[in-house]
Amino acid sequence: MRTVVFDLDGTLADTSGDLIAAANACFIGMGHHAPLDPVADALTAFAGGRAMLRLGFGRLGKGWTAADVDAQYPLLLRSYGEAISVHTSLYPGAVRAVEALRSRGFATAICTNKPEGLAIALCDRLGISHLFGALLGADSLPVRKPDPEHYFETVRRVGGAADRSVLIGDTVTDRDTARAAGVPIVLVGFGPEGQGVARLKPDALLDHFDDLDGVIERILPG
């Protein structure tokens, strides 16, 4: 069975606004202003919660340590979970593209470095959980992307085989995961970095989800 594995944040959905809001809530809770911009800092949002906190602390102009980041990280996750889909939206054509793959017999799954509980909650809120046969998050296994076992287990749980699979993502982490797993990587050109992801030399670029079927057939032919 051919299998298409998707990253979540920055690939299926633009979650940057809610992620940035959660990080800013941490700084506001400490009595500071909101140092992060939901547009200008969108790329940092997809690098993870700790990356946003480090950027924010750096902009405050005060001394901080990794312990400060670690202390705020659980608060960030809590704040994010409480308002997980206020600004988040699926990228145009995402649902239609996944439905088309499934109608043609593909298995579809999500492999994300978002904590599993938050990933499930977000997919439920967005109404897309039924479109994926498996979802593995950052804490589903002892390892996570770019460790290839995270990807391999995702494929196994949906009943697929790695040598008949492809990863759709948006970051260097996704590229490195695919290379480590020995599978093709498609990077989306509509995320925060836009066409800049071409620098990562993926097997294909996806400019719009309407083009997904053709891209998949070229790199994972039946």
Positions annotated as catalytic residues are 7
Cβ burial, residue 212 (10 Å; 0-12/13-18/19+): buried
Partners of 168 in beta bridges:
6, 186
What secondary structure letter does DSSP report for 9? B
Q: What are phi and psi of 83, to 5 degrees?
A: -145, 60
Q: Are strands 134-136 and 165-169 parallel, antiparallel or unpaired?
A: unpaired
DSSP letter, residue 15: -
For the chain, give the number of residues: 222
Give CA separation, 109 vs 71, 95, 136, 209, in Å: 32, 13, 8, 16
Q: How far apart are CA 119 and CA 64, in angstroms?
A: 30
- Separation in Å, CA 76 to CA 28, 71, 83, 88, 173: 11, 10, 11, 16, 22
Rounded CA gap, 195 and 45, in Å? 18
